[in-house]
Homo-oligomer: A and B are copies of this chain.
Amino acid sequence: MKKRVLVPIAQRSEEFETVGIIDTLRRAGAEVIVASVDQTEILASRDVRLLADCLLSEVTDQEFDCIALPGGLPGAEYLRDDVQLTALLKKQAAEGKLYAAICASPAVVLQHHGLLQGKRATVHPALADQMQNKDGLNERVIIDGNCVTSQGPGTVLEFALTLVELLYNAATANAIAKGMLVQR
């Protein structure tokens, strides 16, 4: 069965992070569901217009092998404030399944909802002050158990390839990295 990855998006999500996660995981063969917490059409952080595959409300009864959050502000705040997404993330974490966030979202979404407790995590340097656990903030990608965090647009392929490695294996991640010209 295909690995299923949920990518929740909102108005003003960071488009390069959003697309980097989707693109890389689809190259790995995952079924990636791009679900908007508001309207299907998103005006992303640098005015790129993206269409979600569906609304988040349509998939809240589904199971995912991974939930991966793009950053961008205020996009991350809209993700934080969505009660259905919050419930999905808490369930994902409680079941020991993979959840991940990049850029502003580790602080704004995951930490806000208590999902970084006892975890090492990283975040965009502009939000480092907001992190309760200061250990590891200079790292580009951190894996701690079922939680993966990363810093920003320039680290998104490393972040997404880490998710590929965890969902599949290192050989798959390495083959995709080679085709995408990623230096690892």
Contact = CB atoms under 8 A, between A and B. Distances in A.
Interface stretch (A45-53, A78-86, A105-113): A45-53
Contacts of A125: 181
The CB with the most chain B CB atoms within 10 A, among A14, A20, A34, is that of A20
A152 B24 CA distance: 13
Contact of A19 (B19, B53, B155): B19
Interface in A40-82: 41, 45-51, 53
Contacts of A177: 154
Interface string A10-51: 000011100110110011000000100000010001111111
Assembly stoichiometry (copies): 2
Given A151-B181, A181-B151, A181-B152, A26 B49 contact: no
Contacts of A51: 41, 49-51
Interface residues of A, number: 35
A8 interface: no
A157 interface: yes
